[in-house]
Structure 1
Amino acid sequence: MATVPTAIHVEVLPARLGDCLLVECQRPDGTTWRMLVDGGPPDTWPLLEARLRRLDPGDRHIDVAVITHIDNDHIGGMLPFLASDLAADVGDFWFNGRPHLPVTGPDRPRSVDQGESLVAALRGSDGDPLAGGPAALASRTRALPWNAAFGGGPVDTGAAGGFVEVAVPGGPTVTVLSPTTKRLTRLADTWSKSLRAALGAPDRDVGLDVLGPLDDLEHLADTRTPQDSSVPNGSSIALLVEHRGASVVLGADAYGGVLAAALQGVARARGDETLSVDAFKLPHHGSEANVVAALLRAAPARHYLVSTNGDVFHHPDDAAVARVVLGAPAGPTLWFNYRTPRTERWADPRLVASHGHHVAFPDPGRADAGAVIDLPARR
């Protein structure tokens, strides 16, 4: 029997509480289109570097490297990446730096030349952090492509419900779902404050993770929780990747309402009310403030990916996972990139038998692999 080829290969690397994803699509000519999304916190870099250096030396090209937003658990590992020789093999960096933010208020963006690089900012230098963008991050002597797919402008969907499609010749179609101009404007208003918070320590200490019962998922799913209000999270670059009939949503830390509106916009543009996808990397590490019912209705999936080991904030939240289990199409699979007491509960045989979901954990023999999923081609 013929083997069905893989259309999209996704690796959710073990980046502690952060995100670090590698996405690959095979082109018809046999070459690989490759996207790196975030680098996790700083201590993810050795693992990320090792993973990238395992690639064929003749094919280490990364077509797109996305820095979704300025939180430390997403950008920390990107700093040494940008300073390494591997950065020279990147076709385009997608990142909304200070020059891309709408001009507004006393904290408005200044020119690129006035700023220091993010590397300098993290080392404690004075200046205008992030203004120099990826070119400055890697080196002042070499320029790297920055938002080239967007004419050098912001990665921005415009109004709520908007989206932007980027078609790759012979490769996938990548649709930008977040952020909106409104969210970038909000970031511009609070840039310095948001940056200081992002580059600092988490705003609360690691405490004991108290695990509640999972015997009433309906009650958990109905828990009324405030929606995410973090300004950096609202500026997250979230994407839909589609290739050969397969699809995956990469939710970054985006607001659930923004994602839901954009996914509905895509669906309606295609003559439907919902957009069914193969896989969905849940936003904000499975936070109940981002994984809202409207989002799950907008893009029902067969596979849901969660990127976190539960550090500091004890994600994924039970309410968020309960919403997935109850609201997704029958028999969804939960993919966790860490096996922890919090995630392991969802694999309890009685719970699985009662709700019909499935659970996948990393290969115990490959602790550095995280969650790995292959989405088959349909055409």
Structure 2
Amino acid sequence: MATVPTAIHVEVLPARLGDCLLVECPRPDGTTWRMLVDGGPPDTWPLLEARLRRLDPDDRHIDVAVITHIDSDHIGGMLPFLASDLAADVRDFWFNGRTHLPVTGPGRPRSVDQGESLVAALRGPDEDPLAGGPSVLQSRRRALPWNVAFGGGPVDTGAAGGFVEVAVPGGPTVTVLSPTTKRLMRLADSWSRSLRDALGDHAREVALDVPEPLADLQHLADERTPRDTSVPNGSSIALLVEHRGASVVLGADAFGSVLTAALQGVARARGGETLTVDALKLPHHGSDANVVAALLEVAPASHYLVSTNGDVFHHPDDAAMARVVLGAPAGPTLWFNYRTPRTERWADPRLVEAHGHRVAFPEPGHAGAGAVIDLPARR
């Protein structure tokens, strides 16, 4: 029996409470298109560096490195990455710096005087004395490409329900689902404070997690939960990656309402009301404030990916996972990049038998790999 080739390979690296993903799409010419999404908190860097250095030295390039938003659990590992020789292998960085944010009032020019180069934003202006424009990010070694796919402008969708497609010759189509211009305006209003918080003390207290038994999933799914109001989360770059008939949504920490509207916009542009995808990386580490029922309805998936060890905020939330199990197509697979007491409950044989889902954890002895999934090609 012939082996079905992989269209999209996704690695959800173990980045503790954060995100660090590696996405690869084989091209017909034998080369690989590769995307890095976030770097997790600072202590993820050694793991990320080791993973990247295992790549073939002749094919170590990263076509796109995405820094989804300014939160320490997403940018912490990107700081040493930017300072390393590996940054020179990146062909385009996607990140919304201060220079990309909309003008929200008088006296707020979008100028390089605000210190908007990516390294200045992420490493601090004292670390980067070079002035940078919106089409490049500056490092001490060389100018690195910044938002080239968007003409040096912001990575956003415009209005709610909008989306932007970037077609890669011989590679995938990458569709921007978040943020909207409105969400970038909110970030512009609080840029300095948000950046200060992201670059401040990264130490977070680890609290003992004592998860309750999973009983009535419908009651959990129906719980009224507050919506995410974090300004940095709302500015997250969320993407749909499609290649050779396979598809994955990378939700970052985006708002569920923004993702829902954008995916519905894509679906309607293609003549439908829903957009079935192979995999969905749940937004905000499986927070019930972001994983809303409408999102799961508009983009039903066969695989749901969760990136967190739950040791600080106790993600994924039970309500979010109950919505997934009850609202997804029959027999979805839940992929956790950590096996913890909180995630193990979802593999309880009685629960699995009752609801028909499956659960995948990192392979024993390979916990450092996190969750690894290959989505097969259909054409």
Alignment TM class, shorter chain as reference: over 0.9
The DSSP-based 3-state class of the residue aligned with 2:58 is: coil
- Which residue of 1 is the match for residue 59 of structure 2? 59
Retained in 1: the 8 A contact 2:250–2:282? yes
Whole-angstrom CA distance in 2 between matches of 1:178 and 1:275: 16
What TM-score, normalized by structure 2, do the two folds share?
0.95
**Corresponding position of 1:346:** 346
CA contact (8 A) 2:176 2:237 kept: yes
State how far apart, in whole Å, the 1-side matches of 2:103 and 2:128 are. Answer: 15
User: Structure 1 158/125 Cα, relative in aligned 2: closer, same or farther at 3 Å?
Assistant: closer
Q: Separation in 2 of the partners of 1:301 and 1:98?
A: 35
Q: Tell me the equivalent position of 1:208.
A: 208
**Matching of residues 49-88 of structure 1 within 5 Å:** 49-88=49-88
- For residues 136 and 148 of structure 2, what CA distance do their matches in structure 1 show? 16
Identity of aligned residues (%): 88
Q: SS at the partner of 1:240? A: strand
Uncovered stretches (5+) of structure 1, i.e. residues with no partner: none
> How many angstroms apart in 1 are the aligned matches of 2:286 and 2:107?
32
Gap change, CA 1:122 and 1:160, over 3 Å in 2: closer
Residue 12 in structure 1 maps to residue 7 in structure 2: no
Residue correspondence of structure 1 range 87-102 to structure 2 within 5 A = 87-102=87-102
Whether 1:43 and 2:29 are equivalent positions in the alignment is: no
Deviates more, 1:272-281 or 1:126-135: 126-135
Structure 1 residue 206, shift from structure 2 partner: 3.0
Residue 114 of structure 1: how far off its partner (Å): 4.7
Cα distance in 2, alignment partners of residues 169 and 353 from structure 1: 44
Match of 1:231 in 2: 231
Q: Which amino acid aligns with 1:160?
A: A
SS of 1:91 mapped into structure 2: coil
Any conservation in 1 of the 2:120–2:128 contact (CA below 8 Å)? no
Amino acid of the structure 1 residue aligned with 2:111? S
User: What is the rounded CA distance, in whole Å, between the counterparts of 1:107 and 1:286 in structure 2?
Assistant: 39
User: C-alpha displacement at 1:130, in angstroms?
Assistant: 12
Report the counterpart of residue 322 of structure 1 in structure 2.
322
Determine the structure 2 residue equivalent to 1:259.
259
Whether contact under 8 Å (1:207, 1:312) holds in the other structure is yes
TM-score, with length taken from structure 1: 0.95
Provide the rounded CA distance (Å) in 2 between the counterparts of 1:206 and 1:248. Answer: 31
CA distance in 2, matches of 1:85, 1:107: 38
2:175 matched to 1:175?
yes
* Structure 2: segments with no counterpart, 5+ residues: none
Offset, 1:108: 3.5
Q: Deviations for 1:234-257, whole angstroms, at most 9, x for unmatched residues? A: 000000000000000000000000
CA distance in 2, matches of 1:231, 1:288: 17
Distance 2:271 2:123 in 1: 50
Note the alpha carbon deviations across 1:195-233, whole angstroms, 9 max, x for none.
122223469743221311211000000010110000000
1:116–1:130: 8 Å Cα contact kept in structure 2?
Answer: no
Indicate the SS of the match to 1:368.
helix
Is the 1:5–1:376 contact (alpha carbons within 8 Å) kept by the matching residues of 2? yes
Alignment partner, residue 333 of structure 2: 333
On the 8 A contact 1:97/1:130 being kept in 2, the answer is no
2:184 aligned partner: 184
**3-state SS of 1:206 partner:** coil
**Count of residues paired in the alignment:** 379
AA aligned to 2:369 is A
Alignment partners' CA distance in 2, 1:81 and 1:135: 20
- Three-state SS of the structure 1 residue aligned to 2:57 is coil
Q: How many Å separate the matches in 1 of 2:218 and 2:57?
A: 50
- Judge conservation of contact 1:99–1:131 (CA < 8 Å) in 2: no
Task: Please give the alpha-carbon distance, in whole angstroms, between the structure 1 residues aligned to 2:128 and 2:103.
Answer: 15
1:262-277 equivalences in 2 (<5 Å): 262-277=262-277
Residues of 2 paired with 1:130 and 1:275: CA distance?
A: 44
Q: What residue in structure 2 maps to residue 292 of structure 1?
A: 292
For residues 200 and 134 of structure 1, do their structure 2 counterparts lie closer, same or farther at Cα, with a shift above 3 Å needed? farther
* Aligned 8 A contact 1:93 1:134 in 2: no
